[in-house]
Chains A and B, each alone.
Chain A
Amino acid sequence: MNRLKKYFQAAIAALLFSACTAQAYESEDGSFTAHGYIENATYQRFHGVGLSKIRNTGQVEVSKDFGAVGLFSSFSFNGTLRGTYDAVYDVNDDEFGDNAGAPISFTSGGVPAGVLGPGAPAVPAGITTPWGSSIVTAGNPGLPGGGGFGFNVANNPNEGLALLGSRLHGDDGGVLLGVPVRPCDVDPRGCIDGYLDFDSDELKSPEFNDRADFIREAYFSGTIPLKSSELDISFGRQQVVWGRTDLFRVLDVINPVDFSRNNIYDELEDIRIPMGILTIENRWGAIGAFDDLNLQFLWKWEKFRPNKLGQGGTPNSILDAGSFFRAMNNCWENGCTVSNFAGGGAQTDFPAHSIGIRQAVLPDWKLKETDVGLKLEGIYKSVGFSLNALYYTSQLPSLRGGVPAVNPFLGVGVPFPDGQTGGEEIPRDYLIAFDIEFPRILLLGGSADFYVDSLKTAFRTEVVYTNGEEFADTTNPRLFSRSPVVRYVFGADRPTFIPFLNKNRAFLFSAQLFGQHILNHHLEDAPLGKIGMPDWKDNWIGTLLVKGFYKNDQLSPQVIMAYDVRAQAAAIAPSIDWLINDNWRLQFGANIKLGTGARSFDDIVLLMFSHHSQEQELLAQVLDWVDMSH
């Protein structure tokens, strides 16, 4: 019962209201078509958040068929323009806009006498101090640091802040950070140049940026007939989709994804970030023993773009990674308060350039660092298959330690026996000072689909092996290590009649199981707890979609459920879709999350006060967030 209660305590529920209207145009000769729609999506989030999205979208899709042109037997242009205005930043600005956040304070968990240093008094539990005025800070007599702790509150004031992760879980006496939550033009703290540094306008209307994202797609495609095959060439900004499964991007990794639009809940078509890509595909059709065979070469020539994870302080910051990054970047740039750090129970003010995230290193355009891929796809004896290879830059960030940083335990300007001088910025093993990097990855994989008549079920699968991915690893001095990974998805679709609900129309049951296996995973016991990779060696997520249809499909209720085995967390998203007519659509839904919140890793209570062990503890907490970003 307590467990159930804990689950529901962590539940976050949201209601969705979405309305859409569409229009179309076709030229007299039929060679040019234009479709457009406008959509309003409004979301209400509970637990005191209020409106979390009032998104208004206008989209126009055009296509022009030029017919035969030169070598091409057919040649066409496709384009998609999209503009969005999300009014939530104006309407609910106390939560997500210019006036978001508030002064924050931290409460001590308590530290016994002498733990913070010889003769240091005990720190009672329950002492509350504001941001920047911690128990361990500049000038506190009898405490370590000798002036190395503390930061300038004038530059890093106690306003516009939120406790990191406070929407997901309580502090539970653990480590806490503060995160600035206002748009970057209002409060630039923690905004990471070129990565997560969006101002108010970019948050409200994300398509109108320096990458011209309002041009979602613009590409030419043509077919050159060959003697025994066809050559299809496609060039321009586009989405290229690999794989056969829903929701999980095992093979579908060519385009990065904008999770800030609506987390994973919008269709991938709407949240993939189209990129400049060239594809050349030879289509043999039926050949030899194959009913269909095709070989595709792919070159993503546009400058690298990572996934958009959502900035700290915005409604959709997937796994709150963007908030963690912002909090940590603020720590690096301006210093920050960390709760329950010193002695495991005293608030501590870290100076700038001691811990945090220094920068995001976004790769410059170099030919050798562009993405290339090959796909062989076909049908053999009724089994659809593909073999895929992709060499690409990870769209997810990796945190690499080893960044030169100061050690606040050493007094500024004080020489020490190991040759260091206090206040000196040098690389330090195991220090939680990171750069965000995007490693190169080799992906090899494949997919298949087939139908089993005796089960009346269609199956599909994707399996990939990657080499080059990086994972948090507390045993490595730079706090990350590489490991090959195997990911797989098995899915099944089965239409099934439920006569008492609908005697004339089947319900679609679609289930998937996603798994991840880290081949070089390691986790070991150390005197102070587990060390190694916080990520699981093996984990699985199951999903189930049940969708019904009424009134000639104009009314369609559905529920999507997902369950993370290791996290013991679930999401349930019931919704109902009402197609009023060809031009109007109304959707109403909810999204309920159940679970115990973020997982803790190595949540040890330290009785010794040495700088290394403290860093280990904070590191352990930090790695939870890093882990989640994967």
Chain B
Amino acid sequence: MKINTLLLISLMILVFTNGAKADYTEADVDNSFYPYKNSTPEFTGYEPGLTINQKNVDQFKDILDPAMYKLIKDGATKMDTMATDSFDLHPNYVKATKNAINNPPTLKEDGTIANYIAGRPFPSEPDASDSSAGTKLIWNYQYGYNWGDNAAIYPFYWGYRNYKTGKLERTLKFNFHFLNWAHRVNQDPVPEITPNPSKLFRSIYVQVLEPFDLANTQLLIHRYQNDLKRDDAWLYLGFQRRVRRLATGQVTDSFLGSELMIEDFEGYNGRVSDYNWKYLETKNIMLPFYRHNELPNLATNIKDKDGYQFVDFGGQGGCFPKIKWQLRKSYIIEGTAKDSGHPLSKRLMYLDAQTFTIPRQVMYDRKGDIWKTFIIGQANPLYHLPKNKNSGVSIDDSFMALDVQAGHCTTGQFKGQVDPKLNPTSKFTVQNLRKSGK
């Protein structure tokens, strides 16, 4: 009788988990984390170091995403290139992935993950015949080593710019803080901070420092380990000195007038279950990866107490980061919003295959027209702040979100710091909003 019960339970688990075992090997893990170990991508006529511009862009159309191709073709920007770098993520994250080989995470029917502890959940190459391949890839992003166990962008400058005239309309200065409560691999406690009564996965805390009308505005987002549970978010408004709970609509609306929604943070800051995900193809394309300290033109207009220099911007409207691009392996996926009231119809994402960051993305409005194009520049931690050197984090270092319909962009200049001291758990409480906002 007991055996029958166990059998039944086992069958039920199989049914409800879709039987989608990761079934990956150590070689799969190595291939996933070190794709450039033996060779780097090549393309006929492409030599790292050349500049792709309006004149020669047609020659490289096949290694450009269509939106970037059009921008270069229109003369809005050019693309300085460099050799492909290996952005090695932290060895503990790789180790956690390997540790799960014998008991790998599985994708459930409802799109959530079972049996996940830490590491990259689905390191195998995506299979075009697998209808859940897109979902697995976005899970690799969601549970990626994006900012490690915690990090801060401290400070973080956003510029609101008129794409047509180049006028810098507003400059916002923030501090951003990130903390993983669970699935940690590097900083104690691992894999989870306790107590964690609501089983939080991740928190983001944002503080606006300037300008005066927004100073003291703070944002706190709690994401749960249960991906079907809606995020909780709170906003502290300095002029009210009060915490307001955010409705979801505010997460999918312009954040403080920028081209970004809260859902856009880090490339995608929603639940996996908010979209239907479809894997399109794997392709070598140009992605914004570079060595920050070796960039020839860093900004000189922002004075930092440590002498750090931020990425500079130029091109049409001053909207484009003056960075370098690498030819890299990318997984292209499409996310279609499940909520018919969502302002986006879909997101076209170019995931970097090695880091599972989202350095390029195109967003479409409800009519299906291109609305925004999004660049997040990735800096190699070996060529950034000294404290980031052994972080194993692909450092988000610059961004540009261009509203192609309105002719307006938001630019971002980061000082990313992988430093646990900047991100104590007490910073990620609602009460901290009240305390810090005084």
User: Contact residues of A with B, CB < 8 Å?
Assistant: 22, 24, 28-30, 33, 35, 37, 78, 221, 230, 232, 234, 238-239, 241, 243-244, 246, 267-269, 281, 283, 285-292, 294, 377, 379, 381-382, 384, 449-451, 453, 456-458, 460, 493-497, 503-506, 508, 549, 552-554, 579, 581-583, 585
Q: Is the CB of B247 within 8 A of A504?
A: no
Q: Is the CB of B257 within 8 A of A286?
A: no
Q: Name the contact of B430 in the complex, choosing from A241, A243, A379 (C-beta under 8 A).
A: A379
Given contacts A22-B213, A288-B195, contact A554 B257 (CB under 8 A): yes
Chain A neighbourhood of B169, CB < 8 A: 552, 554, 581
- Smallest CB gap from A453: residue in B: B230
Chain B neighbourhood of A493, CB < 8 A: 244-247
What is the minimal beta-carbon distance from B108 to any residue of chain A, in angstroms?
A: 20
Is B106 engaged at the interface, CB distance under 8 Å to the other chain? Answer: no
Most buried by B among A281, A286, A381: A286
Task: State A497–B343 Cα separation when bound (angstroms).
Answer: 9
Task: State A289–B405 Cα separation when bound (angstroms).
Answer: 48
Is B240 engaged at the interface, CB distance under 8 Å to the other chain? Answer: yes
B residues 200-232 in Cβ contact with A at 8 Å:
200, 209-213, 215, 222, 230, 232
What is the minimal beta-carbon distance from B425 to any residue of chain A, in angstroms?
A: 6
Q: 25 interchain pairs (CB within 8 A)?
A: A22-B212, A24-B212, A30-B305, A221-B438, A269-B240, A283-B429, A283-B431, A286-B425, A292-B429, A294-B431, A382-B232, A451-B245, A453-B230, A493-B244, A497-B341, A504-B405, A504-B406, A506-B249, A506-B250, A506-B343, A552-B169, A552-B254, A552-B259, A553-B256, A554-B257
Chain A neighbourhood of B215, CB < 8 A: 35
What is the minimal beta-carbon distance from A580 to any residue of chain B, in angstroms?
A: 9
- Smallest CB gap from A294: residue in B: B431
What is the minimal beta-carbon distance from B345 to any residue of chain A, in angstroms?
A: 12
Task: State A457–B248 Cα separation when bound (angstroms).
Answer: 8
Task: State A583–B168 Cα separation when bound (angstroms).
Answer: 13
- Smallest CB gap from B437: residue in A: A241
Task: State A197–B32 Cα separation when bound (angstroms).
Answer: 78
Q: Is the CB of B230 within 8 A of A451?
A: yes
Task: State A33–B208 Cα separation when bound (angstroms).
Answer: 14
What is the minimal beta-carbon distance from B285 to any residue of chain A, in angstroms?
A: 28
Q: Is the CB of B242 within 8 A of A582?
A: no
Is B243 engaged at the interface, CB distance under 8 Å to the other chain? Answer: yes
User: Contact residues of B with A, CB < 8 Å?
Assistant: 160, 169-171, 195-198, 200, 209-213, 215, 222, 230, 232, 234, 238-250, 253-254, 256-259, 305, 341, 343, 365-366, 371, 403, 405-406, 408, 425-426, 429-431, 434-435, 438
Q: Name the contact of A230 in the complex, choosing from B213, B222, B242, B426 (C-beta under 8 A).
A: B426
Please give 15 more A-B residue pairs, beta carbons under 8 A apart, in addition to A294-B431, A549-B257. Answer: A29-B305, A33-B209, A35-B215, A268-B241, A281-B431, A289-B197, A384-B243, A460-B244, A493-B247, A504-B406, A554-B170, A554-B257, A579-B170, A582-B171, A582-B210
What is the minimal beta-carbon distance from A578 to any residue of chain B, in angstroms?
A: 11
Give 3 closest A-B pairs by Cβ, nearest first. Answer: A553-B257, A495-B249, A22-B212
Chain B neighbourhood of A290, CB < 8 A: 197
Chain B neighbourhood of A29, CB < 8 A: 305
Task: State A290–B170 Cα separation when bound (angstroms).
Answer: 40
Q: Is the CB of A494 within 8 A of B240?
A: no
Q: Is the CB of A495 within 8 A of B254?
A: no
Q: Is the CB of B212 within 8 A of A292?
A: no
Task: State A232–B343 Cα separation when bound (angstroms).
Answer: 42
Chain A interface, DSSP helix/strand/loop, else mixed: strand
Q: Is the CB of A583 within 8 A of B242?
A: no
Task: State A118–B258 Cα separation when bound (angstroms).
Answer: 81
Q: Is the CB of A504 within 8 A of B196?
A: no
Chain A neighbourhood of B248, CB < 8 A: 451, 453, 456
Task: State A150–B407 Cα separation when bound (angstroms).
Answer: 76
Chain A neighbourhood of B406, CB < 8 A: 504
Chain B neighbourhood of A234, CB < 8 A: 438
Q: Is the CB of A241 within 8 A of B242?
A: yes
Q: Name the contact of B431 in the complex, choosing from A241, A377, A495, A581 (C-beta under 8 A).
A: A377
Chain A neighbourhood of B238, CB < 8 A: 269
Task: State A451–B343 Cα separation when bound (angstroms).
Answer: 20
Q: Is the CB of A458 within 8 A of B246?
A: yes
Q: Is the CB of A269 within 8 A of B241?
A: yes
- Smallest CB gap from B241: residue in A: A241
What is the minimal beta-carbon distance from B147 to any residue of chain A, in angstroms?
A: 21
What is the minimal beta-carbon distance from A374 to any residue of chain B, in angstroms?
A: 15
Q: Is the CB of A456 within 8 A of B195?
A: no
- Smallest CB gap from A577: residue in B: B213
Q: Is the CB of A504 within 8 A of B254?
A: yes
Task: State A558–B176 Cα separation when bound (angstroms).
Answer: 30
Q: Is the CB of B249 within 8 A of A456?
A: yes
Chain A neighbourhood of B366, CB < 8 A: 503
Chain B neighbourhood of A28, CB < 8 A: 305
Task: State A460–B234 Cα separation when bound (angstroms).
Answer: 12
Q: Is the CB of B426 within 8 A of A285?
A: yes
Q: Is the CB of B245 within 8 A of A458?
A: yes
Chain B neighbourhood of A267, CB < 8 A: 239-240
Q: Is the CB of B200 within 8 A of A291?
A: yes
Q: Is the CB of B365 within 8 A of A504?
A: yes
